[in-house]
């Protein structure tokens, strides 16, 4: 199960997202991968037997529209043929497989805990990605990397990956997958805010309107939320203690 998590989440989903974003552009990357919540709801119904309610479906649709408004239609045009088309298809695969990874991770976390889930997914993902990393030509020797580049790698490894993935997996232990999926939409909002504060990129009315739509979708889904039966109890029984990671590896 841990190998499957690493393969689906770190090899297929993140790999297709990076390549797809390179070929189709960042705006397309942000919007098309925002199909993930819809796939999370679908896979949760198929694998976890979670019920798809009208409120849940409407919440995902509302927040998805909000992402499109934040990005703006003019930013999405990067051509419809050749490399751009393949990039968009890869981004759709990324959104679908991230939905599958999330639901698989929820099931794994309920059995072994979020920490063990994150640890084994990262380790197996790193091992499975190693051949691709070795085959990819380095545009610049590692010895020539400036300190800022190493700091960026460290941030991505520890904060954006280890900490963020742990919090994501832990959150899905506490609420159902359909409701948790809505918090995926925080990414384009945070990205736009960081672009405004750090890079001086302007924020238009689309950001405000889109942000309100996303917030409305999250609030709507949260009001429909029911507590996960036995979620935290299962974590305390199976996901704590020094043997959790050892048991998860098997």
Could you give the C-alpha distances from 37 to 28, 52, 137, 177, in angstroms and in order? 16, 12, 34, 9
- Would you state the pLDDT for residue 103? 94
Task: Render pLDDT for 133-155 as a digit per residue (tens, 0 to 9).
Answer: 888 777 777 778 899 999 999 99
The CA distance from 148 to 103, in Å, is 35
- Would you state the pLDDT for residue 231? 46
- Residues of the chain with pLDDT below 50 are 229-246, 248-250
The CA distance from 194 to 122, in Å, is 26
Domain ranges within the chain, ordered by starting residue: 2-133+147-229
Q: Considering just the CA atoms, what is the radius of gyration of the chain in Å?
A: 19
Task: Render pLDDT for 115-131 as a digit per residue (tens, 0 to 9).
Answer: 999 999 999 999 999 99
- Would you state the pLDDT for residue 236? 45
The CA distance from 28 to 73, in Å, is 10
Q: Are 165 and 122 in contact (CB under 8 A)?
A: yes
Alpha helix locations (H) across the chain?
2-6, 14-24, 26-32, 36-47, 54-71, 82-112, 114-135, 147-155, 164-174, 177-181, 186-199, 205-223, 231-238, 244-249
- Would you state the pLDDT for residue 241? 44
Q: Are 115 and 239 in contact (CB under 8 A)?
A: yes
The CA distance from 41 to 25, in Å, is 26
Q: Please, what is the Cα angle at 128 between 125 and 129, to 5 degrees?
A: 85
- Would you state the pLDDT for residue 80? 56
pTM for the model = 0.76
């Amino acid at each position: 199960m841990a190998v499957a998590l690493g393969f689906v989440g770190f090899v297929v989903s993140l790999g297709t997202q990076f390549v797809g974003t390179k070929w189709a552009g960042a705006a397309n990357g942000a919007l098309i991968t925002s199909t993930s919540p819809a796939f999370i709801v679908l896979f949760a119904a198929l694998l976890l037997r979670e019920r798809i309610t009208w409120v849940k479906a409407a919440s995902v649709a509302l927040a998805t529209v909000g992402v499109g408004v934040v990005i703006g239609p003019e930013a999405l045009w990067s051509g419809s043929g050749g490399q751009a088309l393949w990039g968009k298809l890869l981004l759709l695969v990324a959104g679908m497989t991230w939905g599958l990874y999330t639901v698989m991770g929820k099931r794994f976390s309920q059995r072994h805990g979020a920490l063990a889930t994150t640890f084994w997914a990262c380790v197996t993902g790193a091992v499975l990605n190693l051949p691709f990393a070795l085959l990819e030509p380095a545009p610049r020797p590692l010895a020539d990397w400036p300190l800022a580049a190493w700091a960026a790698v460290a941030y991505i490894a520890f904060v954006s990956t280890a900490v963020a993935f742990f919090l994501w997996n832990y959150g899905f232990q506490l609420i159902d997958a359909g409701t948790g999926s809505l918090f995926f939409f925080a990414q384009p909002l945070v990205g736009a805010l960081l672009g405004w504060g750090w890079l001086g990129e302007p924020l238009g009315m689309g950001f405000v309107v889109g942000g309100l739509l996303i917030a409305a979708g999250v609030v709507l889904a949260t009001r429909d939320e029911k507590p996960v039966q036995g979620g935290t109890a299962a974590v305390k029984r199976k996901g704590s203690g020094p043997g959790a990671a050892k048991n998860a590896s098997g």
